[in-house]
Chain A
Amino acid sequence: EVQLVESGGGLVKPGGSLTLSCAASGFTSTNVWMSWVRQAPGKGLEWIGRIKSKTDGGTTDYAAPVKGRFIISRDDSKNMVYLQMKSLKIEDTAVYYCTTEGYIYGYHAFAMWGQGTMVTVSS
């Protein structure tokens, strides 16, 4: 079965750090761009960043609200993608989704999604 499974969410204090993981199975993510998208409680979707495939340079891009605080990385040998979050703010509270970008369907379309993992930033 083709799927993405996120883990690592939880409760963290403002200013703290947390690392989320995304395990890909049923397909080889090596040549796939991977993105993270978040959704604050009761709010809309927000793209926060991506990591390109190694064949496309393996570089990262980030949305302005998280640039300099979040780092996306990947370990293709394990079919894993990671989201390191530092200097967390209350407004980072959200469900975080791992998703494929441009896989199977078009460029910059998110075809596969994980179930999401909740991150709560609160004192």
Chain B
Amino acid sequence: QSALAQPASVSGSPGQSITISCTGTSSDIGRYDYVSWYQQHPGKAPKLMIYNVSNRPSGVSDRFSGSKSGNTASLTISGLQAEDEGDYYCSSYSTSSTLLFGGGTKLTVL
């Protein structure tokens, strides 16, 4: 199975909002509400930011939000801050009981 499709990079200025898309198929994102988003800083382990499409773990800022429409999920970060810079990955449960990750999106805060 192919990885989920994400844009390679996005950028925004402090205070702005950005959205990262994650496109799958009817066998993964389109079929299950088990989409998660992860933030990763260089040399660090990933951190869970969104689970079950739109839920935030305790301690994650409400500037992060998630949604899904059809085969595409989205992560929106509002009020962009310098600390948001990093790599973002989506993941989805898929048929055959497997998990898929997106290729990752590098977020640059200008």
Binding site for B on A (CB under 8 A): 35, 37, 44-47, 50, 61, 63-64, 97, 101, 104-111, 113-116
Contacts and interface: CB of A to CB of B under 8 A. Distances in A.
Nearest to A112: B48
Given A44-B103, A45-B38, A61 B97 contact: yes
Interface residues of B, number: 27
Interface of B: 1, 3, 32, 34, 36, 38, 40, 45-48, 51-52, 55, 57, 89, 91, 93, 96-104
Contact of A45 (B1, B89, B96): B89
Given A44-B103, A45-B104, A47-B101, A110 B1 contact: no
B55 A97 contact: no
Contact of B51 (A35, A105, A115): A105
Given A109-B36, A109-B51, A97 B45 contact: yes
A106 B98 contact: no
A27 to B, nearest CB: 15
B99 A35 contact: yes
A45 B101 contact: yes
Contacts of B57: 104-105, 111
B34 A106 contact: yes
